[in-house]
Structure 1
Amino acid sequence: MKCRVFACLLLCLLLPLSAFSADPLAAWQPKFDPSKAEYTYLLSTVAHPAIEGGTVGYRIRDRVWEESNGRLYVDYRPISQLGGEKDVLRKLQMGAIQGMLCSSVLAPNVSPRLGIVNLPFLIDSFAKLDQFRSNEELFREFGADADKKGIKVVDFTGYGSYGWATKTPVKSIDEAKQQLFRIAQAPVNVDLYKAWGFQFTVMPWADVPQALQTGVISALDHTPIVCNITKKFTVAKAYTSIDYAQGLYVHLMNKRWFNSLPEDLQQILLTAITEESVKVRALTEKQQLDQIAAAKANGIVFNQLPVEEKNKLVELAEPVVQKWAKEIGSDYLDKVRTALQ
Structure 2
Amino acid sequence: MKSCKVVLLVLVFLVCVSCGGDMVWGKDDPLARWQPDFDPTGAKYVYLLSCVGHPAIEGVAAGYRIRDRLWRETNGQLYVDFRPLSQLGGEKDVINKLKFGAVQGMMSSSVAAANIAPKLGIVNLPYVVDTFEKLNDFRNNEKLWGPFRDAALAQNIQVLDFTGYGSYGWATTTPVATVEEGRRVNFRIAQAPVNIDSYKAWGLKFSVLPWPDVPQALQTGVIDGLDHTPIVCNISKKFTVARYYTELNYAQGLYVHLVNRKWLNSLPEELRKIFLAVVKEESHDAREMTKKQQLAQVEAARADGVTFLKLNHESDAFMREKSEQVYRIWEKKVGPSYLELVRKELKR
- Per the normalisation by structure 1, the TM-score is 0.93
- Equivalent residues in 2 for 1:256-267, closer than 5 Å: 256-267=262-273
Determine whether 1:173 maps to 2:179.
yes
The residue number in structure 2 matching 1:118 is 124
Taking the aligned partners of 1:224 and 1:322, their CA distance within structure 2 comes to 29
Match of 1:26 in 2: 32
- Mapped to 2, the partners of 1:207 and 1:259 lie a distance apart of 38
Instruction: Say whether residues 1:146 and 2:155 are aligned partners.
Output: no
1:265 positional shift:
0.6
Aligned to 2:82: 76
Question: 1:213 — aligned with what?
Answer: 219
100, 121, 124: which is aligned to 2:106?
100
Deviation at 1:56, TM superposition (A): 0.8
Which residue pairs with 1:238 in the alignment?
244
Pair 1:331-2:320 in alignment? no
What secondary structure sits across from 2:227 in the alignment? strand
Indicate whether 1:286 and 2:292 are aligned. Answer: yes
SS of equivalent residue, structure 1 residue 70: coil
Letter in 1 for 2:116: V
What SS does the corresponding residue of 1:105 show, helix, strand or coil? helix
| 1:101-133 alpha-carbon deviations (Å, 9 max, x no partner) | 001111012111000011010000101001000
- Would you say how many aligned residue pairs link Structure 1 and Structure 2? 322
Structure 1, 187-196 or 261-270: larger mean CA deviation: 187-196
How far, CA to CA, are the matches of 1:200 and 1:27 in structure 2? 37
In the alignment, is residue 198 of structure 1 matched against residue 204 of structure 2? yes
Q: Give 1:197 shift.
A: 1.1
Q: Distance in 2 between matches of 1:101 and 1:94?
A: 16
Among 176, 184, 189, the alignment partner of 2:195 is 189
Give me the whole-angstrom Cα distance separating, in 2, the residues matched to 1:210 and 1:94: 35
Separation of aligned partners in 1, 2:193 and 2:78: 38
RMSD between superposed Cα atoms in Å:
0.9
The alpha carbon displacement at 1:149 in A equals: 2.5
Match of 2:164 in 1: 158
Asked whether the 8 Å contact 2:157–2:260 carries over to 1, the reply is: yes
User: CA offsets, 1:240-276, max 9 Å, x none?
Assistant: 0001110100000000011111001100100000000
User: In structure 1, what is the Cα distance between the partners aligned to 2:58 and 2:27?
Assistant: 24
Shift of residue 307, structure 1, vs aligned partner: 1.9
Alignment check: 8 A CA contact 2:114 2:193 kept: no
Counterpart Cα distance in 1 of 2:258 and 2:151: 13
Report which of the two structures shows the higher radius of gyration computed on alpha carbons. Answer: 1
In the alignment, the residues of structure 2 paired with residue 110 and residue 152 of structure 1 have an alpha-carbon distance, to the nearest angstrom, of 11
Structure 2 unaligned blocks of 5 or more? 1-25
TM-score, length-scaled by structure 2: 0.91
Q: 1:308: Cα distance to partner?
A: 2.2
Task: Work out the CA distance in 1 between the residues paired with 2:151 and 2:290.
Answer: 28
2:22 is matched with which residue? none
| SS of alignment partner, residue 109 of structure 1 | coil
**Partners of 1:80 and 1:182 in 2: how far apart?**
20
AA matched with 1:141:
P
Mapped contact 1:162–1:245 kept (Cα < 8 A): yes
Q: Answer whether contact 1:103 1:247 (CA < 8 A) is retained.
A: yes
SS of 1:157's equivalent? strand
Which of 274, 298, 315 pairs up with 1:309?
315
8 Å contact from structure 1 (residues 113, 143) kept in 2: no
